[in-house]
Amino acid sequence: MKQRETRQLKATLAVLAAARDHLTAEQVYRRVRRHVPGVSLGTVYRNLDKLRAQGRVRVLQLAGGPARYDPTLHEHDHFVCEACGTVTDLDLPRARGAVRRLARAGFVVRTQTIALYGLCRACAAPPHGPRAAGAASHPGEA
């Protein structure tokens, strides 16, 4: 029942903490593999879920795509570029009044996620055409 500090778990947390973007499980896997060459993707998933259960990582489920893991713990919001897939952190004002009203009506509100979808600055005003979806803005992943 007691948590162990395995190399795989430590490396996973380190990768997430070091990343300023919002990595997918696959991306975390590729980076963890640099430090722990033999890791399996299954283990990365298990550890990511463990970290989530402990509240050490947040999971972002964005429209049509793999889950993204966010090491930033305080409640914040996201802008998702539909062209290049980049996720940008935002700090939007929360609808506190409405939440309080729900609470009074008997609901228990645990989390609130706000996501904006559209085109990021780079893709909206392309000097040389918009970037390709997915990889373009995060090269050299291996």
Partner DNA sequence: CTTTCTGCAAACTCTTTGCACTCGT
Partner DNA sequence: ACGAGTGCAAAGAGTTTGCAGAAAG
Q: How far is CA 98 from CA 67, 89, 125, in A?
A: 28, 23, 36
Contact residue for DNA among 30, 46, 56, 76 (CB under 7 A): 46
Tokens of 90: 């935002």
Contact residue for a second copy among 1, 53, 105, 142 (CB under 8 A): 105
Nearest distance from C-beta of residue 62 to a second copy, angstroms: 7
Cα(138)–Cα(135) distance, rounded to whole angstroms? 5
Q: Does 73 bind a second copy (CB under 8 A)?
A: no
Q: Furthest-apart CA pair in the chain: how many Å? A: 56
Q: How far is CA 84 from CA 9, 54, 123, in A?
A: 30, 31, 7
114 Cβ contact partners less than 8 Å away, ≥ 6 residues apart: 77, 78, 90, 92, 94
Nearest distance from C-beta of residue 47 to DNA, angstroms: 5
Q: Does 66 bind a second copy (CB under 8 A)?
A: no
Residue range at the interface with a second copy (CB under 8 A); choices 17-25, 68-76, 98-106, 126-134: 98-106
The 6-25 site mask, x for binding DNA (CB under 7 A), equals xxxx--------------xx
By residue count, the chain amounts to: 142
Q: Does 75 bind a second copy (CB under 8 A)?
A: no
Interaction site with DNA (CB under 7 A): 1-9, 24-26, 36, 38-43, 45-47, 49-50, 64-67
